[in-house]
């Protein structure tokens, strides 16, 4: 716990924007970064197309991607996968992790 930073975000996928039955934080994503190396050592994604999203980032994790490299990745818009990039709210940091609107 002391040697990791956890970034997280709640969001509503673009394709769900017209569904009033779904709340803004209906989906969730989390990155776990090792502080000294800034390498991403884990991630979680709860939302549509989770298998494709997970597979898309697996190679980057296996290759030792850092948070800076992760954030510099080009976002594919409009996809749920783009929610994995540019996460800035940290657990315990007091920021609101729930995005509202299309581009958070």
Active-site residues, by number, are 77
Q: Report yes or no: 38 and 8 within 8 Å, Cβ to Cβ.
A: no
Count CA atoms closer than 13 A to 13's CA, side-chain side. 17
Within a 10 A sphere around the Cβ of 25, how many other Cβ atoms? 15
Angle at 98 between CA 36 and CA 89, to 5 degrees: 20
């Amino acid at each position: 716990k002391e040697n990791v930073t956890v970034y997280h975000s709640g969001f509503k996928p673009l394709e769900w924007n017209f569904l009033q039955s779904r709340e803004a934080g209906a989906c969730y994503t989390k990155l776990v970064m090792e502080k000294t190396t800034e390498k991403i050592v884990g991630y979680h994604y709860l939302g549509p197309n989770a298998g494709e999203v997970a597979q898309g980032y697996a190679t980057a994790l296996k290759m030792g991607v850092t948070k800076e490299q992760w954030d510099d990745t080009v976002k594919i818009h409009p996809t749920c996968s783009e929610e994995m990039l540019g996460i800035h709210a940290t657990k315990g940091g007091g920021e609101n992790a729930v995005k509202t609107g299309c581009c958070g």
